[in-house]
Structure formats: structure tokens, C-alpha cells
Amino acid sequence: MNHDKTQEIPTRLRLQVRQIRFEGVGINSYELVDPAGLPLPAFEAGAHIDVHLAQGLVRQYSLSNDPAERHRYVIAVLNDANGRGGSRTLHEQLHVQDFVEVSSPRNNFHLSEHAAKVILIAGGIGVTPLKSMAHHLERTGKPYELYYCAKDRDYAAFSGEFELFSSKDSHRFHFDGGNPAEGLNISELLREPEDGQHVYYCGPAGFMKACAAASTHWPAGTVHAEHFKVAADATGGTDLSAAGEVGGFTIKVTSSGALVEVGAQQSIVDALSAIGVVIETSCQSGLCGSCKTHYLSGDVDHRDCILSDDEHKEYLTACVSRARSGVLVLDL
């Protein structure tokens, strides 16, 4: 069987900011177009792009517009004061008519073709990929329900645009006033999965945890999630020894037979780079999948938030994955 050794490196596109719109408290949307008016690479609902900012910052943002559109990409960005600086840089430095480099779209959050009905649950800015899904479901006539949770309407991006959907009666806005105790009863919503139903959710860490806990009894393969930030208790991140990793481990490169030692505070990406083996990275947090790499053997400590359980049997994310013991053999 042939395997891609890493996920295909996305093409760089030089796009122009055609429009910036205020969408909610702290939230701007950015419409990006080809400066010559050419069609953009097609994308599927749930896809995201890498946006290359100043000082070498690269951030991932979901596409929120209808995948049938080829003339523009639309992202929405929350100016997160507690973030890593990407959203603040974008809000302060990117202006209408500016040019920005982005990747071609890639998708780790696919809509199932087999779903009889789709439940979309959004928390805050996590609505962006789900809005694109709603566009697709609306256009194809597949039954769906959208639940959008926010502090209040002023904090809900695209709320006016949702009112234009023909199936807007299937959209439920839930505003908690900033009190989690008044939040959507997700457990009740997901209590009884119907045959053929699939659920998709995206939002902040606490919201993601609640959705995961409420859907543990759903059939395998019917629950789909996308994280836009590493959870506070995630095992990934800059402290690569945080999850009980003692010392480093060894990786073997199949093509050359080279054995490479990976230090306790070193990523697989960095260790391979030292011997001239380059793996494309972007988020470096196990969120985007750009460094997805096929492995042949080894006991992998997966620390990503993007790959499915089935994918974990064959792939790892080289930016955050570790080895629990022995030698980790990579198909490189």
C-alpha cells in the first residue's frame, strides 16, 4: 500500500484584502480575493487556510463562506487578548487593499456524505467552519440544525447573515449572558442520537469538553470536532516532557536507516531538521495537520487535537507526538 509520507504541502497564494467587516464584539471578518480576479482554489466545508503574518507568524483560520464560491475566501477572527499574538497582529496590521500570503485550503473537518441529518454546535468564534457547513447543507438540501452559543447577540458573528438562510428556522441561538450555568444544555441536546445523525462542534476549551462529554455514547464515527486552540490541560505544547515523558527517544528514518535522538524538550520536527530532513509545519501545536507523517512501528504518544483514532494507527503529528518507549520508525 502506498502512503503519503506527509500531508501535501499547501500552495502559497498572494491575496488581497477586499473587505473587512465588524461582525461582533472583538470579531472582524476578512474577505480575501485574487488581485487579478481569478478563481481561487476550491475548498470543502470545514476547510481552513494558513495566514502568514508579520514576524513569521502563521495562524490557521477556518473558511466561513459557501464552498460553492470561488471568487473569495472569508475568515473571521476574534481579537484574543490572551492568545499568542496572531489575532492581535491581524486586527492591528491588516487593512483593506493590503496583500497577504495564505495557503491553499486544506480540510481536517469533513462533512460526512453518509449523514442523514447533521447537528452543528458552535461556541463563539467556533461558528466559522460550521457556517460554511450550513451553507453547503442548505444548498444540497440535507436536513440540519445549527446551535450557536454566545454571551449575547452582540458577541455572535454573522448573526445577521444567518437570518438570510432559507432554513433559518433550524438555527437556534443561545445566549448565556456570560454565565456558564445558563449555557445550552448540550447533554440533553445529544441525549438520544438518531440513526444516521452526525454531530459537529467547535468552540473554546470548556465548550469542547462539554460537547465531548455529552457525546461519548454516540456511535463511532458520528461525532466530529475541531479545536482552534490547545486546551489548557492538553499534553502538547512547548513543554514536550509535560505528560510524564522521561528523557528522549529514538526515531528511525526508513529511507536512509538513520537513527536520530529526540531530546525531552525537542520535537520530532526539530530533531529531523538537524540532519536535513524537513517536515512542513504550521501551527506547531497539533492543531492543523500540516506535519501529518506516516509511521511504520513504535508506541506513539499522540498529543494532537486533529487526527482521528483510525488515523492514529498509521499517522502522527511530528510537531507534538512523542514515543512512549523503544524506537519510532517513520516512513520518510
Whether residue 264 sits in one domain with residue 219: no
Whether residue 141 sits in one domain with residue 39: no
Whether residue 214 sits in one domain with residue 138: yes
Answer yes or no: is 78 within a domain: yes
Please check the confidence at residue 47 and state whether its pLDDT lies above 90.
Answer: yes
Q: What rounded mean pLDDT belongs to the chain?
A: 86
Please check the confidence at residue 87 and state whether its pLDDT lies above 70.
Answer: yes
Question: Left if phi > 0, otherwise alpha if psi is -120 to 50, otherwise beta: which for 55?
Answer: left
Please check the confidence at residue 234 and state whether its pLDDT lies above 70.
Answer: no
Whether residue 257 sits in one domain with residue 160: no
Domains contained in the chain, number:
3
Which of 103, 135, 166 terminates a domain? The answer is 103
Q: Is 128 helix (H, G, I), strand (E, B) or coil?
A: helix
Whether residue 164 sits in one domain with residue 75: no
Please check the confidence at residue 252 and state whether its pLDDT lies above 50.
Answer: yes
Whether residue 129 sits in one domain with residue 84: no
Residue 236: its pLDDT value, please?
39
Task: Name the more confident of 150 and 108.
Answer: 150
Give Cβ neighbours of residue 314 (< 8 Å, ≥ 6 apart): 3, 294, 295
Whether residue 132 sits in one domain with residue 75: no
Q: What is the CATH number of the domain that holds 30?
A: 2.40.30.10
Distance CA 140, CA 131 (A): 14
Q: What is the CATH number of the domain that holds 262?
A: 3.10.20.30
Q: What is the mean pLDDT of residues 62-71?
A: 97
Q: What is the mean pLDDT of residues 41-58?
A: 91
Q: What is the mean pLDDT of residues 41-65?
A: 92
Answer yes or no: is 170 within a domain: yes
Q: What is the DSSP letter of 244?
A: S
Residue 2: its pLDDT value, please?
39
Confidence of residue 72 (pLDDT cuts 50, 70, 90): very high
Which of 103, 130, 160 terminates a domain? The answer is 103
Whether residue 98 sits in one domain with residue 26: yes
- Domain carrying residue 180: 117-227
Residue 10: its pLDDT value, please?
54
Residue 283: its pLDDT value, please?
64
Report the first-to-last Cα separation within the chain, whole angstroms: 15
Please check the confidence at residue 284 and state whether its pLDDT lies above 70.
Answer: no
Answer yes or no: is 240 within a domain: no
Q: What is the mean pLDDT of residues 112-140?
A: 95
Please check the confidence at residue 232 and state whether its pLDDT lies above 60.
Answer: no
Sign of the four-CA dihedral 105, 78, 96, 130 = positive
Distances (CA, A) of 190 to 69, 113, 218, 224, 276: 32, 21, 8, 13, 48
Answer yes or no: is 143 within a domain: yes
Give Cβ neighbours of residue 31 (< 8 Å, ≥ 6 apart): 17, 18, 19, 20, 21, 72, 73, 74
Share of residues in the chain with pLDDT > 90 (%): 52
Confidence of residue 230 (pLDDT cuts 50, 70, 90): low
Q: What is the CATH number of the domain that holds 169?
A: 3.40.50.80
Q: What is the mean pLDDT of residues 46-66?
A: 91
Q: What is the mean pLDDT of residues 140-162?
A: 94
